[in-house]
Amino acid sequence: MNMDYIFDSYRRVCYHTNWSQYRTSTGKFMPTDIGPDFCTHLIYSFAKLQGNKLHSFEWNDESTPWMKGMYAKFNELKTQNPNLKTLIAVGGWTLGSKPFSHMSATDADRREFARTSVAFLRNHDFDGLDIDWEYPTKRSGSTTADKRNYIELLKILKQEFDAETKTTGKPKLILSAAVPAGKSNIDSGYNIPEMVKYLEMVNLMTYDLHGSWETKTGHNSGLFKHTGETGDAASMNLDWAANYWVKGGMPASMINVGLAMYGRGFTLRNPGSHGLESPSRSPSDAGPFTGEKGFMAYYEICELLQTGGTRHYLADQMVPYVVKGSQWIGYEDVDSIRTKVKYIKQHGFGGTMIWALDLDDFHGNCGQGKFPLINAINDELKRSGGPVIQPVQQSTPLVNSQTTTQHLTTTSTTIKPKVINTTKGVSKEAAVINGGGCIY
């Protein structure tokens, strides 16, 4: 079997954040730090809406006569990998819903956006557009008409992309969308069968499923539900969300399943009780480079592990968390990422998506080489066979058990943990969030 052919059949979508350039010291990340062969699709985040037009967000996104802009540096990666496709994302959590709701409200406004977007993409050498509307019908400034208008917007964008290709002979621009994992957001804002007609792919944000906006610990990106969960709580996991989109009419082959290069954390009320759903009193401390409470890049989590943090493993959700004093952070590591990629392959999904490149260990400070999580994704996509990834079946509840202290070292790329778990229920879907650009 030609494993290179199998590997090439998967999309590997990677988001790049234009604010990571402002981090200090080793946290600073630039387009030149991106390996041109890491991904099949690179998405630059974010552009904003100015009226009915795409507009750059940062002062140095666009080139000037005296300065090469970030767009140009980003798209130069295609000179090293001619097969690479680059897109720009418009929206994100910070932009919210109101600008999209306003722009998509009339046919004339939608057409102005679509027409001018084609020119914007071509002028800056992007190969496509990623619509990251968070979320139709939800949040301030939204209306109940957003669900219909979202589809009309996609329809007109596809029409304009098709027409431009017919007129110019250029390869057709790619149209994709970032979409939520939470049931209420999906049901209220997305007509899935209609979306299939206009999009080339969707990037499913299967992370930010729990976080410090809640009052007890929960994992950001569990693969399966936690033992004993029912109702809304049982839907807050990758397996449920990905399959809900498929059941709703989205072909699995169109879905790029999201993988987090970061963790979300809590400050425990009682550091002596640190199992899943332990009471928390506030977000975890901000990472030294990312600077956001309740959020840490993988390379910042590695530092916790290297300086006395203890790694624990949630066997039913197949993900780790680290505890150091009162700090509790659920995250992904090489082992959990490999498990998820196996799941993605076994269920016939079209590929992987990561948020975000700058949050992996791009300097190799974890002792696992540079970009260990991205390399784990790519390596696992090349593999064949392996056991089928299924939820843990348990006839009796697991109970809390203290793991032995395990530190990340330079001599091992994985950590073999003992199991820790709980049997409590999980809070209902939170209504909020984010700092990097995605929510369920």
> Looking at the annotation, which residues are catalytic?
134
66 and 20 Cβ atoms separated by less than 8 Å: no
236 and 214 Cβ atoms separated by less than 8 Å: no
The one-letter amino acid code at 407 reads H
101 and 141 Cβ atoms separated by less than 8 Å: yes
Query: What is the phi/psi pair of residue 254, to 5°?
Result: -90, -10
* Nearest Cα to Cα of residue 182 among 159, 149, 153, 207: 207
Residue 324: its H or E element: strand 319-324
The one-letter amino acid code at 139 reads R
Can you tell me the distance from the alpha carbon of 273 to that of 279, in angstroms, rounded to the nearest whole number?
8
Can you tell me the distance from the alpha carbon of 86 to that of 80, in angstroms, rounded to the nearest whole number?
13
Task: Find how far residue 313's CA is from the centre of its chain.
Answer: 21
345 and 381 Cβ atoms separated by less than 8 Å: yes
Radius of gyration of the chain (CA): 21
29 and 357 Cβ atoms separated by less than 8 Å: yes
Helices 334-346 and 372-382, packing angle to 10 deg: 30
Can you tell me the distance from the alpha carbon of 48 to that of 29, in angstroms, rounded to the nearest whole number?
21
Give all strands (DSSP E) within 51-111, no chain letters: 53-55, 85-91
Can you tell me the distance from the alpha carbon of 173 to that of 335, in angstroms, rounded to the nearest whole number?
36
Structure token pair of residue 22: 């402002």
Structure token pair of residue 141: 């400034």
Can you tell me the distance from the alpha carbon of 301 to that of 280, in angstroms, rounded to the nearest whole number?
19
Report DSSP state, residue 93: T
